[in-house]
Amino acid sequence: MSFIQKMVQVATEEWEFFGKQEFGVDGKAIRNGMSETDDGFWQRVALYWREGTGKNLTGKNDDYPWSATFISYVMRKSGAGTKFRYSAQHSVYIRSAIRARAKEDRNYGFWAYGLSERAPKIGDLVCYAREPGISLDSLSANYKSHADLVVGVSENSISVIGGNVGNSVSMKSLKLNAKGRLADKQKLWFAVLANKFDDEL
């Protein structure tokens, strides 16, 4: 099994565990799943915290966003090793991907591209800012953001899985334009992190 296949498998299993919560391209709920604070599920979020970023929190600590910790957990379980910057902030590993591409650093698992530069592929991470003024040119690694893992691609949309989406592990469908580029307007999308793990070096 390739690294990308393993990532998709791990993320999909967690989505299934949480009851397959799903949102359509219009952002509306298709199916409701379990919540981070439900018994049997806040403990699962604790696992993400502990194994993803080494923190002693649970789903009941709902003042602490766990979406980046979920991505970090998926990376660890998939065997990313030293090729990913594990963090409770998406901006930290996004910045690492920006620097890796600039330096053509093959030792980091992701390279960052603008929305017009790359059509999202399975195994990529798609990223949006939760505050204005953020782009690939942002020098800071400390800003509010979010990322989802691409698990499926069709002609008009992609399917992504993310943590702490609707207080659960959720799947979303996001619109693509005619060139296959991300075209969703509901969030401030600004980056596609290309998965370099399975590239032949």
- 8: domain CATH number? 3.90.1720
Residues pairing with 193 in the sheet: 112, 125
pLDDT tens, position by position, 157-192? 999 999 999 999 999 999 999 999 999 999 999 999
Distance CA 93, CA 57 (A): 21
pLDDT tens, position by position, 63-113? 999 999 999 999 999 999 999 999 999 999 999 999 999 999 999 999 999
For the ranges 41-55, 136-150, 164-178, the lowest mean pLDDT is seen at: 136-150
Domain of 83 in residue numbering reads as 3-195
Distance CA 173, CA 135 (A): 23
Q: How many domains does the chain have?
A: 1
Give every CB contact of residue 46 below 8 A, 6+ residues apart in sequence.
57, 58, 59
CB-side neighbour CA atoms (13 Å) of 144: 7
Q: Which two tokens mark 136? A: 């690939």
- Cβ neighbours of 116 (radius 10 Å): 11
Confirm whether pTM is higher than 0.95. Answer: yes
Q: Is residue 21 assigned to a domain?
A: yes
Q: Is residue 86 assigned to a domain?
A: yes
